[in-house]
Amino acid sequence: MLVDWFCSSASWLHVAILTVCLNLRYSLYGLPFLARWKDVAWWKKAYLIWTLTDETYALEVKHIDLEEAQFIPYCLALGGFDHLYWVVGVTAGALAGRALPFSSEGIDFAMSALFIVIMVDQYRERANRMPAAIGAAAALGSFLLFGVESMLIPSMAGMLTIFLCLRGRLDRSST
């Protein structure tokens, strides 16, 4: 996703605001571990928080009932390995990208495909459908009004407004 921002010469403010909206979930990921990681040394805790990505979170939350003596090393190791996979994957991608023997035109669709896959998976859960529809409506509206380059901030402002106005209805229906 960053690649797209690099190419589209978005301003850093755009990117910061978009990152907040996209990654707001990271703020929620910390919540289950607040109590569990309370007594961990600060530098270990910093690393645990640093590596708390989607996949790390999913696997750590799964084993949150482990004893303290097992849980902390488990989280540290998991975070470390995920970190390693990222670094290795990115390096390999950068090296392989240069040596590719065929035209890579259209490979950018991989990113669209990834979001479509996540969209389909989320659609299976009924509680996600209304928020997703609101997001799509806000995004489509601002795409048509403002064009693709400047659609992100108006569409986020739009969906935030709708979500705050409809909180009474949506909050009840999804809990």
The region that residue 63 occupies, defined by phi over 0 for left and psi between -120 and 50 for alpha, beta otherwise, is alpha
Would you count residue 155 as binding other proteins (CB under 8 A)? yes
Stretch that binds other proteins, among 3-11, 58-66, 68-76, 89-97 (CB under 8 A): 3-11
Nearer to other proteins, 77 or 117 (CB): 117
Q: How far is the CB of 107 from other proteins (least distance, A)?
A: 6
Please report which helix (H) or strand (E) contains residue 127, including its range: helix 126-146
Binding mask 74-93 for other proteins (x = CB under 8 A): --------------------
The CA–CA distances, whole Å, from 84 to 52, 53, 90, 148 equal: 13, 13, 10, 35
Chain centre to alpha carbon of residue 150 = 21
Would you count residue 68 as binding other proteins (CB under 8 A)? no
Binding mask 107-146 for other proteins (x = CB under 8 A): x-xxxxxxxxxxxxxx----xxx-xxxxxx-xxx--x---
Are 149 and 117 spatial neighbours (Cβ–Cβ below 8 Å)? no
Determine which residue in the list 72, 75, 78, 151 makes contact with other proteins, applying CB under 8 A: 151
